[in-house]
Structure 1
Amino acid sequence: MASAASAPPATKGSLREDLTCAICCDLFHEPVMLACMHHFCKPCISRYWRTTHGPVTCPQCRREFSCRQFQTNFLVAAMVEKVRATSSHTYIKNLEKQLRESLDNQRLRTEEHVSSIRRGKDTMETIKRLGADLQARVKGEFRALHQILHDEETCILEQLRREQEEELEKVQRHLEALKLAIKELGENVTVLQQASAVTESMVLAELPQLRPCATVNAAPEFDANAFSSKYMAPLQYITWRKMFQSLKPGPSPLSFDVDTAHPSIKVSSDKTVAVECDTMTRHVDNDKRFLQCVNILATQGFHSGRHYWEVDVGSKPKWDLGVASESIDRHARIKLSPETGFWALRLRNRNEYSVCTQPCTRLQLGSCPERIGVFLDCEDRRVSFYDADDMSLLYSFANGPRGKVFPFFSPCISGNSQEPQPIKLLHYPPVALSG
Structure 2
Amino acid sequence: MAAAPVATSTKSSLREELTCAICCDLFREPVMLACMHHFCKPCISRYWRGTQGPVTCPQCRKEFSSKQFQTNYLVAAMVEKVRATTSNTYIQNVEKRLKESLESHRLRREDYINSIRRDKDKMDTIKRVSADLQARVKGEFRALHQILHDEESCMLEQLKREQDEELEKVHRRLEAVKLAMRELEDNMTKLQQASAATENIVLTELPQLSAHVQVDTAPEFDVNTFSNKYMAPLQYITWRKMFKSLKPGPSPLTFDVDTAHPSIYISRDKTVAVESDNTSLHTCHSKRFLQCVNILAAQGFQSGQHYWEVEVGCKPKWDLGVASEAVDRHSRIKLSPETGYWTLRLRNGNEYSAGTQPWTRLQLSSSPQRLGVFLDCDERRLSFYNADNMSLLFSFTNGPRGKVYPFFSPCISGGRQKAQPIKLLHHPLVALSG
Alpha carbons of structure 1 residues 279 and 19: separation in structure 2 relative to 1, 3 Å = farther
Distance 1:68 1:284 in 2: 132
Structure 1 residues 25 and 352: alpha-carbon distance in aligned structure 2, compared to 1, 3 A threshold: farther
How far did 1:81 drift?
Answer: 4.0
State the distance in 1 between where 2:50 and 2:259 align: 119
Residues 292-315 of structure 1, C-alpha deviations (whole Å, 9 max, x = no match): 443322222211101111111112
Matched, 1:352 2:354: no
**1:413 and 2:415 correspond:** no
Identity %: 75
Name the residue aligned to 2:139. 140
* Paired residues for 1:29-428 under 5 Å: 29-50=28-49, 55-147=54-146, 240-244=242-246, 246-247=247-248, 250-278=249-277, 280-428=279-427
Unaligned runs of 5+ in 1: 1-7, 151-236, 430-435
Alpha-carbon distance in structure 2 between the residues aligned to 1:412 and 1:14:
94
Cα distance change, pair 110–40 in 1 and its aligned pair in 2 (3 A): same
CA–CA distance in structure 2, aligned partners of residues 310 and 383 of structure 1: 13
Kindly provide the CA deviation profile for residues 290-340 of structure 1, in whole angstroms up to 9, marking residues without a partner as x: 344433222222111011111111122222222222333334443333333
Letter in structure 1 aligned against 2:297: A
* Superposed CA offset, 1:375-422 (max 9, x none): 111122211111111111222222222222222222223333211222
What amino acid maps onto 1:124 in structure 2?
A: M
Aligned residues: 332
- Say which SS state the counterpart of residue 328 (structure 1) adopts: coil
Distance 1:342 1:13 in 2: 83
- Quote the Cα distance in structure 1 between the aligned partners of 2:285 and 2:18: 101
* CA distance in 2 between partners of 1:330 and 1:304 (Å): 23
Change in CA separation of 1:97 and 1:258 when aligned onto 2, cut-off 3 Å: farther
Give the stretch that moved more between structures: 120-129 or 139-148: 139-148
Question: Over aligned residue pairs, what C-alpha RMSD do you find?
Answer: 3.3
CA 1:269–1:19 in structure 2 vs 1: closer, same or farther (change >3 Å)?
Answer: farther
List gaps (5 residues or longer) in structure 2: 1-5, 150-238, 429-434
Distance (whole Å) between structure 1 residues aligned to residue 404 and residue 270 of structure 2 = 19
Deviations, residues 55-106 of structure 1 (Å, cap 9, x unaligned): 4444445454444444444444444444444444555445444443333332
Q: Shift of the alpha carbon at 1:256?
A: 2.0
Structure 2 residue matching 1:146: 3-state secondary structure: coil
Moved more, 302-311 or 107-116: 107-116
Change in Cα spacing, 1:41 to 1:387, as seen in structure 2 (3 Å) is farther
| CA distance in structure 2 between the partners assigned to 1:361 and 1:299 by the alignment | 29
| TM-score of the pair, normalised by structure 1 | 0.66
Instruction: Give the distance between the partners of 2:138 and 2:74, measured in 1 at CA.
Output: 82
What do the CA deviations read for 1:258-314 (whole angstroms, capped 9, x no partner)?
333334433323222222345654445544333444332222221110111111111
